[in-house]
């Protein structure tokens, strides 16, 4: 009862219902936290990016989606595409839970996370069918499309119907790619308290041979690795493994740099570190585009957070697309893609601005809820012990989000204690100043998000904030002595919707 006509018709009927829910709900959303230039669902719930692929001239981004409600429910795959990674067009829901391997159960169910490949012009989605309490609970499935919009679940689903062990803690989120004439699949896995990235190989995408774990936690890297992604980056057989490890709070994302051997499917770890130091960065996935760029997008929320936008009829943003490169010392660098410059509107510049100790300096024309800022502090001859910028400040000064750098501690912070609704908390990252003593901060503010980049791609820090719409003030400060802003560029960014 899988790929026969009635099953496909049933699938399409579920998809039509999903679209009707969008149409009904999207006009009723409260705009207070709606993002202006980040991907988000038209209405309802969104989590992980799925199926990221550059396919026939477009970037495709699928996502975990409940079109009916702004909370996690039976998971569909939402779908959007873009020509430039900046402007997104919503497409019909691609997958809806419709079969016994992805529908049913009283708790979690649905078409869970996965990836997309171009199989000789056939856009193919590989996803986890999840049904709480079923045995097995998680299986790997395939759906294909000729037109890139309508997807057919395959008759042979599930293509991997059993995990390697009966007792395990998670078997999901297949990421598939091609090397030579074989397909490789890395799947998130957990067993005996250890997260693992396990491997399968196939010639045709339908029959898969288990190859063991590419890498597993030695005991300190979480008990289940969600959403693994494994790809070449840098010279020779250098690869990066990205994981979303469970149960090693506060760490929610990691990359492992090392080498991967396609014959044995083993990953040799060189070092591991965080990809992003903010609170709201999870389940990143990457694609390779036609220019050979490795582009990463993550879910810009986190499980367990307060998520105030949910009360407004929608939930979830995607981070800005970031290009990944590898520094010579093996550090993963991530930088927002240059295409984002097309959003730039009115531009304010300033240079050589002195900030007296304990003062807050506003700069004419620099304010707003949707802007990009490029700030260079000169700390070559530091007097101040802390410098920074407050954004989304209320007129009475009681509400703001503070980005600060501790010169002595060599640490960068985003402080949400006074940010408005939502969870507070301070994110922090180690950041050494380069030899010339300049601190270069790039900041992307959207209506309910702050993405901070520093250290020429070494540090990324992503946070959601929930201030009042009218709180748009920005001021620069110094503590423990005077400081100097060498240069400042601020651009208003236009909405993509």
Residues involved in catalysis: 48
Residue 64 near ligand FRU by CB under 6 A: yes
Angle, CA of 97, 315 and 249, to the nearest 5°: 95
Residue 189 near ligand FRU by CB under 6 A: no
Smallest gap, in angstroms, from Cβ of residue 478 to ligand FRU? 40
Contacts of 303 (CB under 8 A, 6+ apart): 282
| CA separation, residue 287 to residues 284, 394, 459 (Å) | 11, 39, 21
Which of 391, 342, 392, 375 lies closest to 494 in space, CA to CA?
Answer: 342
Residue 187 near ligand FRU by CB under 6 A: no
Smallest gap, in angstroms, from Cβ of residue 298 to ligand FRU? 10
Residue written as tokens 């690795």?
225
| Contact positions with ligand FRU (CB under 6 A) in 66-85 | 75
Residue 226 near ligand FRU by CB under 6 A: yes
Smallest gap, in angstroms, from Cβ of residue 138 to ligand FRU? 8
Contacts of 125 (CB under 8 A, 6+ apart): 50, 51, 62, 77, 94, 95, 114, 115, 116, 142, 143, 144, 145, 151
Residue 107-146 contact track with ligand FRU, rule CB under 6 A, x = bound: -----xx--------------x------------------
Distance of alpha carbon 389 from alpha carbon 442, whole angstroms: 11
Q: Which residues pair with 183 in a beta bridge?
A: 178, 202
Smallest gap, in angstroms, from Cβ of residue 173 to ligand FRU? 5
Smallest gap, in angstroms, from Cβ of residue 50 to ligand FRU? 8
In the complex with ligand FRU, the residue whose CB is nearer, 21 or 387, is 21
Residue 372 near ligand FRU by CB under 6 A: no
Residue 283 near ligand FRU by CB under 6 A: yes
Give the burial class of 203: count Cβ atoms within 10 A of its Cβ; 0-12 exposed, 13-18 middle, 19 or more buried: exposed
In the complex with ligand FRU, the residue whose CB is nearer, 227 or 393, is 227
In the complex with ligand FRU, the residue whose CB is nearer, 301 or 419, is 301
Lookup: tokens for 365: 């024309």
Distance of alpha carbon 282 from alpha carbon 227, whole angstroms: 9
Q: Peptide bond preceding 250: is omega within 30 degrees of 0, i.e. cis?
A: yes
48, 276, 451, 492: which one binds ligand FRU (CB under 6 A): 48
In the complex with ligand FRU, the residue whose CB is nearer, 47 or 427, is 47
In the complex with ligand FRU, the residue whose CB is nearer, 78 or 382, is 78
Lookup: tokens for 484: 């100097």
Smallest gap, in angstroms, from Cβ of residue 334 to ligand FRU? 19
3-class secondary structure, 481: coil
In the complex with ligand FRU, the residue whose CB is nearer, 46 or 265, is 46
Residue 173 near ligand FRU by CB under 6 A: yes
Contact set with ligand FRU (CB under 6 A): 47-48, 64, 75, 112-113, 128, 172-173, 226-227, 282-283
């Amino acid at each position: 009862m899988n790929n026969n006509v009635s099953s496909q018709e049933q699938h399409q009927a579920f998809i039509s219902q999903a679209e009707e829910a969008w149409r009904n709900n999207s006009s009723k959303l409260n705009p207070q936290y709606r993002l202006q230039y980040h991907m988000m669902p038209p209405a309802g719930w969104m989590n992980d990016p799925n199926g990221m692929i550059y396919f026939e001239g477009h970037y495709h981004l699928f996502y975990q989606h409940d079109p009916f409600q702004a909370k996690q429910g039976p998971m569909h795959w939402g779908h959007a595409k873009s020509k430039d990674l900046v402007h997104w067009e919503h497409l019909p829901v691609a997958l809806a839970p419709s079969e016994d391997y992805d529908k049913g159960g009283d708790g979690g169910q649905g078409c869970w996370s996965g990836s997309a490949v171009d199989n000789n012009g056939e856009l193919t989605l590989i996803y986890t069918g999840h049904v709480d309490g079923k045995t097995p609970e998680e299986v790997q499935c395939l759906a294909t499309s000729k037109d890139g919009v309508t997807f057919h679940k395959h008759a042979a689903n599930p293509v991997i119907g059993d995990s390697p062990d009966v007792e395990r803690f998670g078997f999901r989120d297949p990421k598939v790619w091609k090397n030579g004439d074989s397909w490789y699949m890395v799947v998130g896995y957990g067993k005996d308290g250890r997260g693992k990235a396990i491997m399968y190989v196939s010639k045709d995408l339908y029959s898969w041979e288990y190859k063991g774990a590419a890498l597993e936690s030695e005991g300190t890297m979480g008990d289940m690795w969600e959403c693994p992604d494994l790809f070449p980056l840098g010279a020779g057989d250098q690869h990066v493994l990205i994981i979303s490890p469970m149960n090693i709070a506060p760490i929610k994302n990691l990359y492992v740099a090392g080498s991967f051997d396609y014959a044995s499917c083993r990953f040799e770890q060189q070092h591991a570190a965080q990809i992003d130091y903010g609170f709201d960065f999870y389940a990143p996935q990457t694609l390779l585009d036609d220019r050979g760029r490795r582009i990463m997008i993550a879910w810009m929320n986190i499980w367990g957070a307060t998520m105030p936008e949910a009360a407004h009829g929608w939930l979830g943003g995607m981070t800005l697309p970031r290009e990944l490169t590898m520094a010579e010392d093996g550090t993963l660098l991530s930088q927002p893609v240059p295409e984002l410059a097309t959003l730039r509107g009115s531009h304010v510049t300033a240079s050589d601005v002195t900030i007296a100790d304990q003062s807050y300096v506003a700069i004419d024309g620099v304010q707003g809820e949707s802007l990009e800022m490029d700030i260079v502090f000169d700390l070559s001859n530091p007097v101040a012990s802390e410098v920074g910028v407050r954004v989304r400040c209320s007129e009475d000064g009681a509400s703001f989000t503070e980005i600060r750098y501790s010169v002595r501690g060599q640490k960068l912070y985003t402080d949400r204690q006074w940010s408005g609704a939502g969870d507070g908390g301070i994110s922090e990252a180690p950041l050494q100043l380069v030899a010339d003593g300049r601190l270069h901060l790039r900041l992307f503010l959207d209506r309910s998000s702050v993405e901070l980049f520093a250290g020429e791609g070494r540090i990324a820090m992503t946070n959601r904030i929930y201030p009042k719409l009218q709180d748009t003030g920005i001021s620069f400060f110094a503590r423990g002595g005077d400081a100097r802003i060498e240069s400042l560029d601020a651009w208003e960014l236009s909405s993509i919707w």
